[in-house]
Structure 1
Amino acid sequence: MSRSRQPPLVTGISPKEGTAWTKVTIRGENLGTGPADLVGLSICGHNCMLTAEWMSASKIVCRVGPAKDDKGEIIVTTKSGGLGTSTVSFKLLRPDRIGILEQSAVWVDEINYDMRRDRNKGLSPLSLGPSNPLGIEIDKGNIPQKDLELVFPGMSGDFTSENFAATCYLIENHAGSRSCHYRLFLHRTARCV
């Protein structure tokens, strides 16, 4: 007659805290006899089986999901040992959300911004756009505006516009580079097919 195995026991987790999708290493005893023996894994009440990698009877690696609880146990369940217990817990860190009306600190590199000299006029923060956000030489090229409007109807290369398109910006400001000509050709070809 075969003896039943001991239930899983989680004795360590590294790191002990982190945000959702943090990769963690779980250590313990009787954590299964193989990948097929592992039938359940939860951290702070969140099922982590989809990301679980069974490494050995004493080690499992997984990612912590967006758990309901801020702090909780690590529970391992195996076919051979059943529902386990844990002597350690994991703390889920929730990122601070900054709302539209909340203050936040922003570092502005004033060297790269076009600061207007007329201090009497009110300026919106969006008007203080970087003169060269990519930090590479501006090369306007020779692509006519009507061609851009034909290929990208209603789109703009102005990063403060509601209709901003990165492709338009690159073509308007860096059209001299070979890759921009190639991308415009591909986009034009795709629209004709």
Structure 2
Amino acid sequence: MSRARQPPLVTGISPNEGISWTKVTIRGENLGTGPTDLIGLTICGHNCLLTAEWMSASKIVCRVGQAKNDKGDIIVTTKSGGRGTSTVSFKLLKPEKIGILDQSAVWVDEMNYYDMRTDRNKGIPPLSLRPANPLGIEIDKGRFPQKDLETLFPGMSADFTSENFSAAWYLIENHSTARFVAII
């Protein structure tokens, strides 16, 4: 005689508050038997199934979308257990509007840039955390003489950390052979 599966029960979420697109870890019981068993996931009334990554029957990782409510339950639905319940809630924070010159705090996912365990005590300044190739396309430096670029963009720079950054100069200097395709 087989025992019927219990419905999902969400018992924890970390972090329990954040802005839209915050990555969260959901903990609980009976959260599915596999990735294909997970058929629904809502946080604060927003469907988060497209960003959900089923890890185990007790853990799911996803991103909170642009939720309809400021605070709400986390509801998991599975084929094997049906619609679940939640003993915890998530609070959606509204980001403040800031100007380009206003100071603000940002979260940098440092693990994408370097291994914190080995570089922790090297005193790496934040600017060194930037990716070497932010566009992810092949760099082809040296096609245009530096003097010509300085003439075309007086007082500007191709360094994207500079106050005088020129996107056009950067693209000409680093990606002049790249082709961009318009998708209609």
TM-score (norm 2): 0.59
- Quote how far apart the aligned CAs of 1:170 are: 9.6
Code of the aligned partner of 1:61: V
Report how far residue 65 of structure 1 moved.
0.8
Structure 2: segments with no counterpart, 5+ residues: 105-144, 157-164, 180-184
Find the aligned partners of 1:86 and 1:80 in 2 and give their Cα distance: 17
In the alignment of these two chains, the number of paired residues is 131
Distance 1:167 1:8, change over 3 A: same
CA distance in 1: counterparts of 2:8 and 2:22, whole angstroms:
22
**Bigger radius of gyration:** 1
**Match in the other structure for 2:6:** 6
Post-superposition offset of 1:27: 0.6
Q: 1:166 — aligned with what? A: 167
SS of equivalent residue, structure 1 residue 73: strand
Measure the CA separation in 1 of the matches of 2:71 and 2:6: 26
Whether the aligned pair in 2 keeps the contact of 1:157 and 1:165 (CA below 8 Å) is no
Q: CA deviation at 1:144?
A: 8.6
CA distance in 2, matches of 1:106, 1:55: 37
Local SS of the residue matching 2:50: helix
Identity %: 70
Q: How does 1:174-185 map to 2 (within 5 A)?
A: 180=173, 183=174
Q: Distance in 2 between matches of 1:7 and 1:144?
A: 64
- Give a deviation string over 1:29-62, Cα, whole Å, max 9, x none: 1111111110000001111111111111111111
Bigger helix share: 1
- How big is the alpha-carbon RMSD for the aligned residues of Structure 1 and Structure 2? 3.4
Distance in 1, Cα, partners of 2:53 & 2:25: 10
Cross-structure match for 2:61: 61
Once the two structures are superposed, what CA deviation does each residue of 1:113-168 show, in whole Å capped at 9, x if it has no partner? Answer: xxxxxxxxxxxxxxxxxxxxxxxxxxx9543988x4xxxxxxx5566xxxx94334
Cα displacement (A) at 1:21: 1.0
CA distance in 2, matches of 1:22, 1:169: 31
Classify the secondary structure of the residue corresponding to 2:20: coil
| 1:3, distance to aligned residue in structure 2 (A) | 3.5
- Cα distance, 1:74 vs. partner? 0.1
- Cα distance in 2 for partners of 1:167, 1:73 equals 46
Alpha-carbon contact 1:8-1:78 (below 8 Å) kept: yes
Equivalent in the alignment of 2:30: 30
CA contact (8 A) 1:157 1:170 kept: no
Residues 1:105 and 1:87: Cα distance change in structure 2 (over 3 Å): same
Superposition pairs of residues 99-138 of structure 1, within 5 angstroms: 105=102
Counterpart CA distance in 2 for 1:144 and 1:15 is 47
Residue by residue over 1:76-126, the C-alpha shift from the partner in whole angstroms, topping out at 9 and shown as x without a partner, is 000011000000000011101248xxxx8559xxxxxxxxxxxxxxxxxxx
Q: Does structure 2 retain, via aligned residues, the 8 Å contact 1:10–1:27?
A: yes
Local SS of the residue matching 2:26: strand
Query: In 2, distance between residues paired with 1:33 and 1:144?
Result: 58
